Amino acid sequence: MARKKIGWMDGAAPFLCVFLVSNFILSKFSMIPCRLVLLAALLLSRDADALQVIGGSVTVVQGGTATLPCHVTDTNDDLTQITWQRRTREKPRNDNFITIQPGNRLQFVNGHDDRFKYVGIFNDKNGTLQLSNVTLKDEGRYTCIFTLFPSGNQKTEIPLNLLAAGSRPPPEVRWLTGALADKVRTTTNSTQYDNGTTTTVSSLFGVPMREINGHQVQCVISGDSLSKEETLPFTIQVHFSPTEVNVSVISEDSFECVTEANPNANFTWSRSGQSFLQSAVKEEGAKLQLLSLTASLNGLYECEAANSYGIKHGQLYVHVASGACSAAWASFGLLLSMNFIGATWFFYKSGRFQKCLEQ
C-alpha cells in the first residue's frame, strides 16, 4: 500500500527503504507508535506530488519546425537519463528513438534522423527537442521520460498535430453570390486520402441564362490550415449567340450595329445587290460611315453579327435626296406660307372668320 500511495512508477528501491526502516523501528522500539512510519511515508508522498514533468500539445504546418517541450520542475533529484519515445503514423508501435545522457550527449536508437536537435539543457532537467521539416508521417504522440533518483521514472506525453496547408484539416468553403442567390446553388464534396490529407471541391451551379453573364461571385476559403481567410473572385461566363441586332444612328452619315453576345460578335457590313463604293463608304467593325451624301449610296445595307454560337442580321435603308437641302427647305416654306394665306382668305370671304370673332 505504501508504494501505491507514494506514487512511484518504476523501481522498488524507495519503497524497500521505508519497509526496512519500519521493521527496524518495530523490532527495536516496539513502544513507538506506528504513526512515525506513516509520517515518513506522507513526507515522501508530498515530495512526489510536487514533482511535475511539463510538456504540452504542439501544432505545426507541414514542412515547418516543431518544438517538443519537456522539463521537470520542483525537484532536487539527480537526473541520470532522458529518454524519448514516439508513436506516429509511420511508426504506430511505441518505441524508443532518442536518449540524452549527461553532458547534453544525444544518442539515436533504431536509426539516425538529422531533423531532430536537442535544444534543452541536461543539467536544468530540460529535455526539449526540435524537429525540422515536419511531414505527415511524423504526426503522433511523443513521450518524454526522465530517469530520476530517488523518484524513479517520470514522464509526460506531447501530441504533435500537423496542418497540411490547404488540405488538412479540411477547409471551409462558401460562396458569396449577391443578387444571384436565387438563381444558383452550391455543392461541396471532400475526398480523404490515406495520408490524412483532404481534397475539397466546391461547385457553383445555375441555368446558363444570358441575364447572369458577367456577374461576379466570390469563393471564400477559411480554416486552421490557412494563415488568413482567402477570397477568390470569379466572373460568371455564359456563352450565347448574338441577340437581336439593331442599327443605331450616330450622326446623319454614321451608323452603328448593336447587339449582345458572348464571346463578342464580329461585324460585317454589306450592301444588298450592290458592292460598296470604297471611296464613298468607310467600314470599321460595327460602325458604318457614309463619306459623301449622294444618291449613289441609296440602298439597303445589312449588318451581320456573328460568333462561334450563331449569326444574326440587322438592316439599314439609306436614301439621299437629290438637290440642295436648302432649296428643298425654301420651297417647303414658301408652299406652307401660301397655304396659310389662302386658308385665311377663304375664312374671311365666307364670313366664318367674323363669326369666330363675335363668339
| 240 domain residue, yes or no | no
Same-domain status, 14 and 113: no
Same-domain status, 62 and 158: yes
Same-domain status, 66 and 158: yes
Same-domain status, 342 and 255: no
CA torsion sign for 86, 90, 91, 92 is positive
| 303 domain residue, yes or no | yes
- Among 121, 140, 163, the domain boundary falls at 163
Same-domain status, 38 and 95: no
Q: What is the pLDDT of residue 272?
A: 84
- Among 109, 132, 163, the domain boundary falls at 163
Same-domain status, 152 and 91: yes
Q: What is the pLDDT of residue 191?
A: 76
**Domain extent at residue 230:** 172-235
CATH number (domain holding residue 209):
2.60.40.10
For residue 308, give Cα distances in angstroms to 190, 238, 239, 268: 36, 13, 9, 15
Ramachandran angles phi, psi of 52, nearest 5°: -135, 140
Same-domain status, 58 and 41: no
Q: What is the pLDDT of residue 41?
A: 35
Q: What is the pLDDT of residue 249?
A: 92
For residue 299, give Cα distances in angstroms to 107, 195, 272, 274, 315: 98, 74, 7, 9, 11
- Among 163, 192, 221, the domain boundary falls at 163
| 114 domain residue, yes or no | yes
Q: Which three cell numbers stand for residue 189?
A: 464534396
d(CA 26, CA 22): 6
Q: Which three cell numbers stand for residue 146?
A: 526522465
Same-domain status, 155 and 80: yes
Same-domain status, 59 and 126: yes
Same-domain status, 218 and 291: no
**Residue-level length of the chain:** 359
| 298 domain residue, yes or no | yes
| 187 domain residue, yes or no | yes
Same-domain status, 64 and 24: no
Please name the residues in contact with 119: beta carbons below 8 A apart, sequence gap of 6 or more: 67, 128, 129, 130
| 58 domain residue, yes or no | yes
Q: What is the pLDDT of residue 342?
A: 47
Q: Which residues of the chain have pLDDT under 70?
A: 1-50, 164-168, 195, 225, 322-359
| 128 domain residue, yes or no | yes
| 241 domain residue, yes or no | no
Q: What is the pLDDT of residue 73?
A: 83
Domain total of the chain: 5
Same-domain status, 147 and 192: no
d(CA 63, CA 228): 18
